[in-house]
Chain A
Amino acid sequence: MKRTFPILAAVTALLLVFGTYQALVVAPTERTMGDVQRIFYYHVPSAWTAFCLFFLNLVASVIYLIRRNTSADALAVSAAETGVVFCTVVLVTGPLWARPVWGIWWTWDMRLTSTLVLWLIYVSYLLLRRFSDSAQTPVLAAVLAIFGALDVPLVYFSIWFFRTQHPQPVMGGGGSLDPRMLRVFLLNLAVFTLYGALLCWGRYRIEVMRRQVEETRALEALLDDGQAGSSPARSSR
């Protein structure tokens, strides 16, 4: 188990380098947009990975609400945090693509706005986890996670339900992509999914360690209090 993580991390790093090389060098240049279209090879896989991690957060939160399983709670917070990182990438790369193509950095279009709302919901989730000391925090966070997850289908389907400036999806939406571009896109999609899973796993291990340290410290403090409470009684005898 201890060796699996570094090996997987090294393999993922190599695959990320290979995926980037394919996106920057091998994939053909898009005729109308030019090189800026290559942002798509990072933007869409990042969005997909964020959605997967938010879905994992939802599943773990529901398991926590049903069974009060602390491992599920640790997984939920790990998935939310890594999901926010990928969602941040989406919100940064999107405007960098939009500026040369649309002529504007941002528009309050349904797809863009719902993605920003999604990011804000999960940032609030993380802030709640970070700054609330209440014993009810994991339950409240799990409920918030369910509301957050409701925004994911809204983000995904917004381009079908509303009039939007955002491009139509590459797959399942009638869009056509050069087979060479599709191959590079699918490679990056797979590599980013693996990378997201690996980051989430690493974060989960850190969360488990943090809880172990906190529990041991709490136990230590309890034992110290017990000893301090019993020593005056002994001395008074």
Chain B
Amino acid sequence: MTSIRFMWTAYAAVWIIHGTYIAALLRRYRRLQREMNSLPKS
């Protein structure tokens, strides 16, 4: 692999890690919101 390929791999890896984490957070947020809506209001 050439030097520039390592750079692109690193930049891609960073955004794959962050993207996966943000997607997991959004999934958790939506599930909790659904659960909150299903709870009794009183």
Which residues does A use to contact B, with CB under 8 Å?
20, 24, 33-36, 38-39, 42-43, 46, 85, 88-89, 92-93, 96-97, 99-100, 199, 202-203, 205-206, 209-210, 212-213, 216-217, 220
Q: Which residues of B contact A216 (CB under 8 A)?
A: 39-40
A-B CB pair tally, cutoff 8 Å: 78
Given the interface pairs A88-B17, A209-B29, the reply to whether A33 lies near B39 with Cβ below 8 Å is no
Interface bracket on B: 20 to 34
- Residues of the A chain whose Cβ atoms lie less than 8 Å from the Cβ of B4: 34-36
Contact in complex: A85, B35 (CB < 8 Å)? no
Interface mask (B1-38 → A, CB under 8 Å = 1, otherwise 0)? 11110110111011001100110010011001101100
User: Is the beta-carbon distance between A209 and B17 smaller than 8 angstroms?
Assistant: no
Knowing A96-B6, A100-B6, A220-B40 are in contact, say whether A42-B11 is a contact too (CB < 8 A): yes
Query: Can you pick out 16 interface pairs between chain A and chain B where the beta carbons lie within 8 Å of each other?
Result: A33-B3, A34-B3, A35-B4, A36-B4, A42-B14, A46-B14, A96-B10, A100-B2, A100-B3, A100-B6, A199-B21, A202-B29, A209-B29, A209-B33, A210-B28, A213-B36
Cβ–Cβ < 8 Å partners of A93 in chain B: 10, 13-14
Assembled-state Cα–Cα distance A139/B13 (Å): 35
B6 & A99 in contact (Cβ 8 Å cutoff)? yes
Residue of B nearest to A92 (CB): B13
Q: Please determine whether A96 and B39 come into contact, CB atoms closer than 8 angstroms.
A: no
Complex CA–CA separation, A52 to B22 (angstroms): 19
Q: In the complex, what distance in Å separates the CA atom of A62 from the CA atom of B7?
A: 39
B7 neighbours in A (Cβ, 8 Å): 35-36, 38-39, 96
- Interface hub of A96, A100, A209 (most chain B Cβ within 10 A): A96
Residues of A within 8 A of B18 (CB): 85, 89
B25/A206 in contact, CB under 8 A:
yes
| Pair A89/B1 contact, Cβ less than 8 Å | no
* Known A34-B4, A36-B4, A213-B32; 17 more pairs at CB < 8 Å: A35-B4, A36-B3, A42-B14, A85-B17, A92-B17, A96-B9, A97-B10, A100-B2, A203-B25, A209-B29, A209-B32, A209-B36, A213-B35, A213-B39, A216-B39, A217-B39, A220-B39
In the bound complex, CA of A215 to CA of B18 (Å): 30
Minimum distance in angstroms from A22 CB to a CB of chain B: 13
A96–B7 Cα distance when bound, in Å, is 7
A99–B9 Cα distance when bound, in Å, is: 12
Contact across chains for A36 and B6 when beta carbons are under 8 A apart: yes
* B3: A residues at CB distance < 8 A: 33-36, 100
- Per the bound structure, the CA–CA distance linking A210 and B36 in Å amounts to 9
